[in-house]
Chains A and B, each alone.
Chain A
Amino acid sequence: MNTMNPTVTSEADMPEETIVPVQEERPAETVIEEGKTVGHPFSDDPKFKLRNVEVFYGQDRAIKNISLDIGRNEVIAFIGPSGCGKSTFLRCLNRMNDSIDICRVKGQLAIDDHDIYDPKRDVVELRARVGMVFQKPNPFPKSIYDNVAYGPRIHGLANRKSDLDEIVENSLRKAGLWDEAKDRLDAIATGMSGGQQQRLCIARAIAVSPEVILMDEPCSALDPIATAKVEELIAEMSESYTIVIVTHSMQQAARVSHRTAYFHLGHLVEVNETNKVFTSPEHELTESYITGRFG
């Protein structure tokens, strides 16, 4: 029985406490220096310019002083162990965190040099530019057509029925769902398979012609075949969209992304070309993670 149960550890100690495997001795060097990211976090042609970003849930600091550029038409993957803040960080990019009352975001976040968190900025307009695909396929309980047409309708993107039909068809084509869905556009979307639903959600996101698509573990609820289809889709879409993808699958990150960012306990530890991250990571924590020593 351990009567001297240590209860509270300071933030700086936490990595040591949780990460260090028992047999190895790894003292001070694994301590993450706040705000210091190894590799190449910045880009010459940034779509997003994010500087000193911090996110708080009440008293908890979930994101700790992260600076990062996301390039135009780049596919960047966020990887890291559960609870490392990658989803939270992703949701800052289209202010999905707004609906959480206790969540506060600090720092400079800009898309095309416009402040995302400018109080005068309309969040609806932002989300029309920055679409999102979620972990669990979440089509509306409406017809396939209405799912895709919903975004264009509320934004008034199509004045005539024929325009709307065209948008729906194009979006479904881009999402690789047209052939499967064209004969049952009036069928309820929730009756489709999980993979089809997720591709429908992607079609719904691109129907409002966004510039950026955020994907929060888009394949975690899908089987390998559906996953392969979605990954193929991401590769195709990378020509015209900036894509930010959060994933737990390192193979997926390796397959689809140009750059990979490794998050750890709210820190951005390393950002590098995907190849480099998976072959010769610069930071020790990244190496431990991709070799499966924790996570």
Chain B
Amino acid sequence: MTDQRSQAEIVRNSLKRRYRKERRFRLYGMLAIFIALASLAILFADIINKGHTGFVKTTITLDVALDSEMMYLDDPTDEDQLSMADFVAPIIAALQEHLPEADSAAEKRELGRLIGTYGASQIRDLLKDNPELLNTTQTFEFLAHDRVSVYVKHADNPRYSIKVSEQQQRWVDELLEKGIIDTSFNDVLFSRGDSREPANAGILGAIVGSLLTMLVTLAIAFPVGIAAAVYLEEFAPQNKITDFIEVNINNLAAVPSIIFGLLGLAVFIGLFGMPRSVPVVGGMVLALMTLPTIIISGRAAIKSVPPSIREAAEGVGASKMQVVLHHVIPLAMPGMLTGSIIGMAQALGETAPLLLIGMVAFIVDVPGGFLDSATVLPVQIYLWASSSEQGFVELASAGIMVLLTFMITMNALAIWLRKRLERRW
């Protein structure tokens, strides 16, 4: 009896120690998760803090008298006259109405600098399309000059240096009070391509470029990857060659992405003479990079189809092909799709290989097809982040937010598809 009691005691004592160990172990796990979540939160907070102003534009709304004498323009249909005409003068005149004290030539020049450089072409384009509007008064919404915009949005932010003069600051404050200068949602960001001027720069070109590139990647990588996975898993004989291929596919998944860029440069552009900077080549390079991911996840998905289902189909006389098409692939599809979408999300965020094939160029136009010069979201972010002008800083962060939104959407889609298509047996 005494023996038993002492044994119970030993167990009880060791229990305490075991529970302590367990608690400690759980604590480590929670700490790890906390660190991961905290860094994620810091990252998001920083990006949103820097980038949210990127979604705001500063506008100056003016009633401009399109006076033909002031512009030295009497026939807007005449190209020569249009190119010579002075469209800044009426803007300055319109501003002067609100700021009558700005009178001297120097002050007028300063006034003109409140408006972004594309203000003049806004008037020209309107007159070119509607010559009958000459000598009428029209309301224009101009984008404020980048420096004005920085002043309006970041006057209190020490990270930004204000580059507008004291005098201009007074004017801007006055115009703000009158409601002439206003801030609103930055639709420019989603409706234009890149620009040298931050206020005028949009991300639409990069979004379209990314979409076109991803379409090419998907069209190549998905069918090829699935076909390779099915062949390797279902039809390939088990021999040295298959083993060799398998090892190489696994190795390929670990190759740094920039190598694929070099390959694309050498083969697609160098050897095949395809154009630079176009989504087709970008998509092909990214497809090569995504292939191993799709093949590996596809094979894992096929492997997870229970052999009993194959046997059942073979048992009623399905041919190999029918077993694969009717049973294995439908059951493996959720896994294959998940792998593919994750591979695509990886490709969407890829920058390095695209730099090498020239998708890093400054491109203003929104690409209209697979063979137009284009850039992609991460490269656009890289370009803006490396720009010297202050306005691009917030745009880069805003771009990151757009990119992250796309990625989260894709991952959510992968989860949804998996849940939706998953079947239990």
A-to-B contact residues, CB < 8 Å: 94, 96, 99, 101, 124-128, 131-134, 136, 138-141, 150-151, 154-155, 190, 201, 204-205, 207-208
Q: Are B316 and A208 in contact (CB under 8 A)?
A: yes
Q: A101-B238, A154-B322 are in contact. Are A141 and B331 (CB under 8 A)?
A: yes
Q: Is B312 an interface residue (CB 8 A)?
A: yes
Q: Are B425 and A127 in contact (CB under 8 A)?
A: no
Complex Cα gap A276–B242 (Å): 53
Q: Is B417 an interface residue (CB 8 A)?
A: no
The smallest C-beta distance from A193 to any residue of chain B, in angstroms, reads: 15
B-to-A contact residues, CB < 8 Å: 237-238, 306, 308-319, 322, 326-327, 331, 423-425
Q: Are B311 and A151 in contact (CB under 8 A)?
A: no
**Top 9 nearest A-B pairs by Cβ distance?**
A151-B316, A138-B308, A127-B317, A132-B315, A128-B317, A138-B312, A141-B423, A141-B425, A124-B317
The smallest C-beta distance from B173 to any residue of chain A, in angstroms, reads: 69
Complex Cα gap A183–B249 (Å): 50
The smallest C-beta distance from B334 to any residue of chain A, in angstroms, reads: 12
Q: Are B316 and A136 in contact (CB under 8 A)?
A: no
**Contacting residue for B316 out of A99, A101, A127, A190, CB 8 A:** A127
Q: In the complex, which of the residues A124, A134, A201 has the most CB atoms of chain B within 10 Å of its own CB atom? A: A124
**Contacting residue for A205 out of B310, B316, B424, B425, CB 8 A:** B316
Q: Are A154 and B318 in contact (CB under 8 A)?
A: yes
Beyond A139-B312, A190-B423, A207-B316, 5 additional contacts (C-beta under 8 Å) are A127-B314, A136-B308, A138-B306, A141-B309, A208-B316
Q: Are A96 and B314 in contact (CB under 8 A)?
A: yes
Q: Are B309 and A138 in contact (CB under 8 A)?
A: yes
The smallest C-beta distance from B305 to any residue of chain A, in angstroms, reads: 10
Q: Are A96 and B309 in contact (CB under 8 A)?
A: no
The smallest C-beta distance from A151 to any residue of chain B, in angstroms, reads: 4
Q: In the complex, which of the residues A131, A136, A150, A151 has the most CB atoms of chain B within 10 Å of its own CB atom? A: A150
Q: Are B308 and A208 in contact (CB under 8 A)?
A: no
Closest to A148 in B: B316
Q: Are A99 and B317 in contact (CB under 8 A)?
A: no
Q: Are A140 and B313 in contact (CB under 8 A)?
A: yes
Q: Are A124 and B318 in contact (CB under 8 A)?
A: yes
**Contacting residue for A134 out of B238, B312, B331, B424, CB 8 A:** B312
Q: In the complex, which of the residues B306, B308, B309, B312 has the most CB atoms of chain A within 10 Å of its own CB atom? A: B312
B residues less than 8 Å from A134 (CB atoms): 308, 311-312, 315
Complex Cα gap A232–B238 (Å): 44
The smallest C-beta distance from B109 to any residue of chain A, in angstroms, reads: 76
Closest to A188 in B: B423
The smallest C-beta distance from B180 to any residue of chain A, in angstroms, reads: 66
The smallest C-beta distance from B31 to any residue of chain A, in angstroms, reads: 42
Q: In the complex, which of the residues A133, A141, A155, A201 has the most CB atoms of chain B within 10 Å of its own CB atom? A: A141
Closest to B319 in A: A124
Q: Are A155 and B317 in contact (CB under 8 A)?
A: yes
21 residue pairs from A and B, CB less than 8 Å apart: A96-B311, A96-B314, A126-B317, A127-B315, A127-B317, A128-B316, A134-B308, A134-B312, A138-B311, A140-B312, A140-B327, A141-B424, A150-B316, A150-B318, A150-B326, A151-B316, A151-B317, A155-B317, A190-B423, A190-B424, A208-B316
Complex Cα gap A132–B238 (Å): 27
Q: Are B331 and A131 in contact (CB under 8 A)?
A: no
B residues less than 8 Å from A155 (CB atoms): 317
Q: Are A131 and B425 in contact (CB under 8 A)?
A: no
A residues less than 8 Å from B326 (CB atoms): 150, 154
The smallest C-beta distance from A133 to any residue of chain B, in angstroms, reads: 8
Q: In the complex, which of the residues B237, B311, B317, B322 has the most CB atoms of chain A within 10 Å of its own CB atom? A: B317
Closest to A147 in B: B312
Complex Cα gap A127–B423 (Å): 27
Complex Cα gap A201–B315 (Å): 10
Complex Cα gap A126–B306 (Å): 24
Q: Are B315 and A190 in contact (CB under 8 A)?
A: no
The smallest C-beta distance from A250 to any residue of chain B, in angstroms, reads: 26
Q: Are A190 and B425 in contact (CB under 8 A)?
A: yes
Closest to A191 in B: B424
Q: A134-B308, A140-B327, A154-B322 are in contact. Are A205 and B423 (CB under 8 A)?
A: no
Complex Cα gap A128–B327 (Å): 18
The smallest C-beta distance from A134 to any residue of chain B, in angstroms, reads: 6
Complex Cα gap A267–B257 (Å): 59
The smallest C-beta distance from B330 to any residue of chain A, in angstroms, reads: 9
The smallest C-beta distance from A139 to any residue of chain B, in angstroms, reads: 7
Complex Cα gap A151–B322 (Å): 11
The smallest C-beta distance from A118 to any residue of chain B, in angstroms, reads: 17
The smallest C-beta distance from B308 to any residue of chain A, in angstroms, reads: 4
A residues less than 8 Å from B315 (CB atoms): 94, 96, 127, 131-134, 205
Complex Cα gap A141–B326 (Å): 11
